[in-house]
């Protein structure tokens, strides 16, 4: 019940961003489950390109969007992987005309075991997925 009270007290703009974040997190979770990655990747943007490095902050600042995605994700009954959160953030930024780059990386954990990670970059700042990204080698970018 306290989460509902906190939501009600939010300014209208943050309520809208929260509902939008919920929508995109659910959307990309479902799309990632039901489609092959080659189809999913078409939604991410231009392959092997970085977005423009020019940044501008608005009332819907990229940091606000990223924090909102993390906050909403913490209350979902499932775990959203980094790719889902980065795709949701990228889409929300793109709808606001803000360029960003979704980056995919891999790391070798054991002899025959690779792990993957995705993060979202706006200009030179990593908005989503910064934790541990330095351990991954970039294999794809989407602008």
Give 100-131 pLDDT, tens digit per residue: 999 999 998 877 788 999 999 998 899 999 99
**pLDDT, position 117:** 95
Indicate the pTM of the whole model. 0.87
> pLDDT at residue 59 above 50?
no
Q: What is the mean pLDDT of residues 35-54?
A: 79
Of 54, 55, 106, the closest CA to residue 83 belongs to: 106
Mean pLDDT taken over the chain? 88
Beta-carbon contacts of residue 58 (< 8 Å; ≥ 6 apart): 96, 98
């Amino acid at each position: 019940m306290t989460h509902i009270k906190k939501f009600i007290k939010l300014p209208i703009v943050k309520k809208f961003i929260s509902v939008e974040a919920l929508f995109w997190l659910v959307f990309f979770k479902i799309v990632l489950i039901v489609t092959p990655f080659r189809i999913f990747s078409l939604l991410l943007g231009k392959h092997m390109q970085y977005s423009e490095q020019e940044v501008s902050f608005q009332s819907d600042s990229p940091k606000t969007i990223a924090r909102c995605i993390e906050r909403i994700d913490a209350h979902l009954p499932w775990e959203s992987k980094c790719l889902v959160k980065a795709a949701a953030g990228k889409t929300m930024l793109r709808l606001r005309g803000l360029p960003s780059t979704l980056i995919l990386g891999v790391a070798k954990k054991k002899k025959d075991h690779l792990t993957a990670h995705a993060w979202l970059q706006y200009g030179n700042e990593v908005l989503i997925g910064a934790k541990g990204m330095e351990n991954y080698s970039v294999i794809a970018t989407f602008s």
